[in-house]
Amino acid sequence: MNDITVHDKTFQLFLSETEIQTAINRIGQQITVDYKGRTPLFIGVLNGAFMFCSDLMKAVDVSCEITFVRLSSYTGTKSTGEVRTIMSLQEEVAGRDIILVEDIVDTGLTMQKALKYFHTLNPNSVEIASLLVKPDALQCELDVKYRGFDIPEKFVVGYGLDYDGYGRNFKDIYQLKLDQV
């Protein structure tokens, strides 16, 4: 019951739609307080963060803008060790208050490199909002100021998160079942 199958794997319900929306409302209220009088620019990291971005923006009650980037640390099949934007921003970042919106922070390396990149564009400030964080998987120091849930180091799908491209459309988040790797 409450299991789903994506490709060859079975997942079990982990976070319900209600739990997710409650966490997002909490983050939205935090951001509303912290950014009072400012006009933050949300930068959603595609593809995974599209649902979180949409709901987070609705939960924020300050004047704000949103845009999206696609990041890649790969050229062909090789990691370059640097995050490149492969869909560049039209918006001016210099002087802005940036909130990077991510679906999940795992090793933290993507966000660490993204932070480094966005700092080169001279913003006024940069913070990270991530719906999920796997603290035990972190491989670097990363300040995720706005976070929905700290979760165990297990693979999850749903609510924008995919397994091999599929599973993003579920309203809830599902975790890989215990007997599978």
Residue 79 as a binder of ligand IMP (CB under 6 A): the answer is: no
Cα–Cα distance, 125 to 40 (Å, whole number): 9
Residues numbered 95 to 114 that lie near ligand IMP (CB under 6 A) are: 102-110
Q: Exactly one of 161, 168, 170, 172 binds ligand IMP (CB under 6 A); which one?
A: 161
**CB neighbourhood size of 63 (10 A):** 10
Question: Nearest approach, Cβ of 39 to ligand IMP (angstroms)?
Answer: 26
Contact track, ligand IMP, 36-75, x by CB under 6 A: ------------x---------------------------
The residue among 120, 115, 89 whose CA lies nearest residue 100 is: 115
Across the strands, what pairs with 84?
72
Please check whether residue 83 is in contact with residue 72, taking contact to mean a CB–CB distance below 8 angstroms.
yes
Compute the CA torsion angle 164, 150, 33, 126 (nearest 10 deg). Answer: -60
- The active-site residue, picked from 55, 61, 97, 106, is 106
143 carries an active-site annotation = no
Question: Nearest approach, Cβ of 155 to ligand IMP (angstroms)?
Answer: 4
- Contact positions toward ligand IMP, by CB under 6 A? 48, 102-110, 155-156, 161
